[in-house]
Structure 1
Amino acid sequence: MTPWEFRVSAYTLLASFFLRVSSRQVNVTIDDEFGDDITGAKPVYSPDTGLWTQGSTCTGCGVRSIAYPQGEVQASQAFHGTWHDATYLSGYGSPCAVTLTFNGTAVVVFNLIANAGVEQTNTNTSVDFFLDGALAGSYLHEPDSEGPSVLYNVPVFSKSGLPHQPHTLVMQADTTTFSLILFDHAIYTVDDGSDVNDDHVDHVEWPKWHPNELDEYFK
């Protein structure tokens, strides 16, 4: 998928999120650390060999919180101030992956993206997405030294028009290259089975940006 095609897809899905709130649709957040706001189900990180770490408290990560020396990430810009960090080196063991489960009709995944080069740290991001066992998309970002060091709330995958049933989404490092994954959160849309008016919207967790701000990520 080209950057332009992805931008159009993201615009379409995000627009549907905002419009559906006035009907029977509710948006639910899955946080990297605290899990699903409704069910409590947490993301599953694999392999269980220490590749994944909580980025907000990591002292050994190349891209880390500014609370630590040479840190680049403003924790206040991440959803709930947390993100999960993993680096995959092509050819070295199983690729790192995060698995999300949800019951809904649409989903968007948001990552932090390391944009500027960090000394002795791989900041290339290349991931594949598998929805219900089938390849559903990919995302690639190569660092731009002229841009900001970190991009926040970047939509790396979106899918709408799903049947309203349980789904499994896996974000996995591209096995052909080096890849840094900084998973922040995901939002999925669920039909709660009743009419939803404005009084029911205040519990929905919205992205921190307006859809027009996507432009800066897809130049």
Structure 2
Amino acid sequence: MWRSILLKCSILLRLKTLFVTDIQLLFLVLFTPVAVVSFNFTVDDTFGNNAHTVIPAYLPNNGTWHVGSPTEQCNGCIVQPSELDISQIMNQTWHHATFFDGAPIQMEVTFPGTAVYVYNILPNTLPGGVSSHTNLLFSIDGETVGQFSHVSDSSAKFLYNQLVYWNASLSKTTHTLVMRADVGSLVIFDYMIYTMVDSLGSSASPNSSAATGIGASHSPSHVVIGAIIGPVIGVVVIILLAAVLEIFILRRKRRRLDRPASDSFSPIDAITPSKNTSFGRPVTLLPRSPNAATQLPLPVTSSQLSQRSFEAQREAELTRRLYTLQREMRSLSYQENISEDESRLSSSAVQALQEEIAALRGVLSSMAMRVEHHPPPISESLPRYEDAHLVADTSRERTALPPRYAKSHSG
């Protein structure tokens, strides 16, 4: 039993600890500044973004950079439109240049956001033995943040939508990105993507960024709601389950407290002992003298109660006494493992209880008859059991009821 109680206490303590922890976690998730959703914006090499607020600039502005289009006729261009798969190019436009000497060639763009992704077209083989080597350097806000190199191979003439640089750890402010080509490099820029975050609060990231490796591939994140909603839903479900379990335990305890303490007994017939009846040890609380129960004055006066209520109270008191005697008789009748002397004593006690029960029933019957024909005054005391014996059976001689029984130690 103690093990079961300790187990229940341990379970309740664990549930309480889990409930408090879940509450703390819920407040941490709900009230900590976190990102809710992010939006990506594409910047074309020629047209910029949709609002035309972010447009790349190409340096030096001396005709080094060439604007490519599917309808152009450029016999001296290194990259011919007929050699490209126009369907894989953003808006079917591109910028390309080759750095040999003089001022370095670079693409510069200013954008607001927390992440940036740069996509180029990488050449592998070009007609006339033109170099297709690509070596790029990247800087953000004047600080070098990464580089990219590509050596031509025989896989395809051109590689499209190639991510040459990405950075997703920028602070939530405006940044300037510069892509610079090394000597002998051919640059074909197609488009870039930057990310803006809509959040409940701001959590600044370091201004420095991590450089990407050679040939790194990464796709921008569009929506981060799932990373937030998932833990929140899990915490809410756990809290609801803990609350339901706690309510169930409290209701169960309340039902136990509200359950009536006394058992209801229905009148039963007297039990006659037989040879097969096995009696237990005599109980300590044995029947009292009938006269003691019937001669007690009632705690009421004639000025407070009517005659009907007085009779009802007398009847209720006798009925309760009858139930008490029946319960004592049951206790005596179903006890086991006793000696022969104790069995005889218990048999006598049962017989005495039977007589007292019969007397009580006679009193109740007598009261009913007297109330119907001759209602007694309110101050009249309760009738004695001896009168009930005469009413119930006039042919039977008056029998003295036994006194209170005590446990016998004699042989």
What TM-score does the superposition give when structure 2 sets the normalisation length? 0.38
Aligned equivalents of 2:146 and 2:50: distance in 1?
Answer: 25
**Contact 1:126/1:179 (CA < 8 Å) preserved in 2?**
yes
Q: Give the equivalent residue in structure 2 for 1:52.
A: 65
Aligned equivalents of 1:132 and 1:58: distance in 2?
Answer: 37
Aligned equivalents of 1:136 and 1:130: distance in 2?
Answer: 5
**Contact 2:36/2:198 (CA < 8 Å) preserved in 1?**
no
Paired residues for 1:1-219 under 5 Å: 23-56=36-69, 57=72, 59=74, 60-66=76-82, 72-89=83-100, 92-144=101-153, 146-174=154-182, 177-192=183-198
CA shift for structure 1 position 40: 2.8
Aligned equivalents of 1:58 and 1:46: distance in 2?
Answer: 23
Change (3 A) 1:128 1:58: farther
Q: Quick check: which has more Rg, 1 or 2?
A: 2
Q: Give the equivalent residue in structure 1 for 2:298.
A: none
**Contact 1:55/1:61 (CA < 8 Å) preserved in 2?**
no
Aligned equivalents of 1:58 and 1:162: distance in 2?
Answer: 41
Higher helix fraction: Structure 1 or Structure 2? 2
- Secondary structure of the equivalent of 2:118? strand
CA shift for structure 1 position 192: 4.1
Change (3 A) 1:190 1:29: same
Per-residue displacement from partner, 1:147-182 (whole Å, max 9, x unpaired)? 1000000000000111010000000012xx300000
Kindly report structure 1 stretches of 4+ aligned residues shifted beyond 4 Å: none
- Secondary structure of the equivalent of 1:110? strand
- Secondary structure of the equivalent of 2:121? strand
Aligned equivalents of 2:90 and 2:73: distance in 1?
Answer: 17
Aligned equivalents of 1:167 and 1:39: distance in 2?
Answer: 17
Per-residue displacement from partner, 1:126-164 (whole Å, max 9, x unpaired)? 1100111011111111111x2100000000000011101
Aligned equivalents of 2:54 and 2:68: distance in 1?
Answer: 20
Aligned equivalents of 1:212 and 1:108: distance in 2?
Answer: 9
**Contact 2:139/2:145 (CA < 8 Å) preserved in 1?**
yes
Q: Give the equivalent residue in structure 1 for 2:6.
A: none
Report the aligned-residue RMSD: 2.0
Aligned equivalents of 1:82 and 1:111: distance in 2?
Answer: 12
- Quick one: which amino acid aligns to residue 63 of structure 2? G
Change (3 A) 1:98 1:212: closer
Aligned equivalents of 2:120 and 2:186: distance in 1?
Answer: 11
**Contact 1:45/1:52 (CA < 8 Å) preserved in 2?**
yes
Aligned equivalents of 1:42 and 1:62: distance in 2?
Answer: 24
CA shift for structure 1 position 39: 4.5
Q: Which runs of 5+ in 2 are unaligned?
A: 1-34, 201-216, 220-411
Change (3 A) 1:94 1:212: closer
CA shift for structure 1 position 75: 1.5
Aligned equivalents of 1:99 and 1:212: distance in 2?
Answer: 22
Aligned equivalents of 2:127 and 2:116: distance in 1?
Answer: 31
**Contact 2:116/2:193 (CA < 8 Å) preserved in 1?**
yes
Change (3 A) 1:141 1:191: same
Change (3 A) 1:139 1:103: same
Identity %: 37
CA shift for structure 1 position 78: 0.5
Q: Which runs of 5+ in 1 are unaligned?
A: 1-21, 67-71, 195-210, 214-219
- Quick one: which amino acid aligns to residue 114 of structure 2? T
- Secondary structure of the equivalent of 2:91? helix
What TM-score does the superposition give when structure 1 sets the normalisation length? 0.71
CA shift for structure 1 position 99: 0.3
- Quick one: which amino acid aligns to residue 85 of structure 1? H
- Secondary structure of the equivalent of 1:24? strand
- Quick one: which amino acid aligns to residue 95 of structure 1? P
Q: Which has the higher contact order (CA 8 A, sep 6+)?
A: 1
CA shift for structure 1 position 120: 3.8
Q: Give the equivalent residue in structure 2 for 1:18.
A: none
